[in-house]
Chains A and B, each alone.
Chain A
Amino acid sequence: MFNENSKLASVILKDHSLLPVINRLGIKLGFGDETIKNICVEKGIDLNFFVETINVFHYEAYFPEKRLLDFPISMVIDYLIKTHQYYKNYLIPENDRLMELFLSASPGESTDNELVRKFYTKFKEEFVIHINFEEREMFPYILELNAVIEDFSLRNQFIRKYPSFSITSFEKEHSNMDDKMDDLKNIIIKYLPPNYDQNRGNAFLYNLFMFEKDLKNHSRIEDHIMIPKVKQLEKLLVNHD
């Protein structure tokens, strides 16, 4: 398990898929041999949040729910928004590019290529709609709810805007997204006709694997940290009345 005394360089050398994660937490490369603790102090980053986040990402089975629920919701939302930006600005366009490269180099039956393209495009569209919805509707609701808990004088204004104030009205299933990503990977690995360009196929798959790992982690944080945390806040608001 990584801890505050781990050198960040060693952590990255051990698991380079953490690179975008540390970026989201506000750290760029060039940190020399500094420990996580020193880097966080210097950059004003919450040390515990940093350590737990990279551990949860690196160790797939590790998920200390109780401790994670203690972090301020604004910190969690900030991380989730940065993750969305990473998907929209980099991972999805990169996936598009790699898929086109892959399909254009694979002479196979054009209908097969068209199928892969269609399936991926539909998945992507649904995915973008989903994250845009969260950013435009759900996250603002959560942040406003949090503001009310910190300052109850905002309460009336909040209730007028969200008369039923309940996160359940926003909740969307994540499993469907994960399923489709999984299906695409399985179809390419198991059932694609053999005459395709291997290197480009691999490059596309690597990116999909990376995307899947990141998305799985993202859903885990939303479903098991963000949603339960918001339910706690909603209860606080009700009990205050």
Chain B
Amino acid sequence: MISSHNRSIVIIISSYDILLAGLTEILKGSLATEVISLHRGDEMIDYPKMDGNILVISTSDEYEKSGSFIRQILFSADHLAFLTLHLDTKSNYSNLTINLSDTAALLCYKVNEILNSFVAISSKETGTELTRREIEVLQLLTKGYANKEIADQLFVSTHTVISHRKNISEKTGIKSASGLTMYAILKKIIDVGDINQDDLI
């Protein structure tokens, strides 16, 4: 599984091939890790269950037609935003629209601003340092205790332990119990001698 924090996907929807090709080329210079171009919103049916940070660029007509369908199919996105594509050359400058007359640099700037704001939200949500409580949970976890046993030892509910485990995984990027054990040893949170290596790794 690709860590969703690193994935920024831009989806461009337009019936004009020239626009799709042009924007795709220009956005190679943006922070987007992937650019998907579609002729119609309902083609999103072929891109189910996408995760990561997703920005959809479409005309307001297309948004009205398939906006809610797109939201539905992108339910697992970590963050989702829409930018309106203005095909009218006279339209005024705005940060929330992509205009036909925008320069390549401005287009990338607008897209990057949005993608950056997603990352800022994510890191505010988690941070990376483990709290003291999380370290305690991790220590017990690496000794092979189950959630219920950890809860009893720390006088908290199992639910709280599960929530700590989720935060530990989000902060470290490591999900499996054996991976967390390895992390704890490398970070000197526990000593190799404290655990049964054959069972836990």
Specify which of A61, A115, A122, A190 is in contact with B173 (CB 8 Å cutoff).
A190
Q: Check B201 against A115 for contact (C-beta < 8 Å).
A: yes
CA distance A63 to B49 in the complex (A): 9
Task: Give the interface residue-count category, chain A.
Answer: 20 to 34
Is the C-beta of B62 less than 8 angstroms from some C-beta in chain A?
no
Number of interface residues of B (CB under 8 A): 27
Residue of B with least CB distance to A190: B173
Q: Does any Cβ of A come within 8 Å of B91's Cβ?
A: no
Q: A61 contacts which of B36, B174, B176, B186 (Cβ < 8 Å)? A: B36
Whether A171 is near chain B, meaning CB under 8 Å from some CB there, is no
Interface centre among B49, B50, B201, by most chain A C-beta atoms within 10 angstroms, is B201
Shortest Cβ distance from A130 into chain B, in angstroms? 15
A59 in complex: contacting residue of B3, B36, B48, CB < 8 Å: B36
CB proximity to B under 8 Å, residues A152-208: 175-176, 178-180, 182-184, 186-187, 190-193
Q: Which residues of chain B are within 8 angstroms of A235 by Cβ–Cβ distance? A: none
Interfacial chain A residues near B185, Cβ < 8 Å: 111-112, 115
Query: Is A178 within 8 A of B1, CB to CB?
Result: yes
* Cα–Cα distance between A209 and B34 once the two chains are bound (Å): 17
Residues of chain B in range 145-201 having any CB-CB distance to chain A below 8 Å:
172-176, 178-179, 182-183, 185-187, 192, 197, 201
The residue that B174 contacts in the complex, of A65, A112, A187, with Cβ under 8 A, is: A187
Check: B138 CB closer than 8 A to any chain A CB: no
| A175 to B50 Cα, complex, angstroms | 16
B176 nearest CB across to chain A (Å) = 5
- Known contacts A61-B36, A216-B1: A186-B172 contact under CB 8 Å: yes
Determine whether the beta carbon of A186 is less than 8 Å from that of B174: yes
Tell me, yes or no, whether A32 is within 8 Å of chain B by CB: no
Q: List residues of A whose CB falls within 8 A of some B CB.
A: 59-66, 111-112, 115-116, 118-119, 122, 175-176, 178-180, 182-184, 186-187, 190-193, 216
* B contact residues vs A (CB 8 Å cutoff): 1-3, 9, 34, 36, 45-50, 172-176, 178-179, 182-183, 185-187, 192, 197, 201
What would 14 more interface pairs be, CB under 8 Å, given A115-B182, A179-B175, A191-B187? A60-B2, A63-B47, A112-B186, A115-B197, A116-B182, A118-B197, A122-B201, A176-B176, A180-B179, A182-B3, A182-B175, A183-B173, A187-B174, A192-B186
7 closest A-B pairs by CB: A183-B179, A64-B46, A186-B173, A179-B175, A61-B47, A183-B174, A118-B201
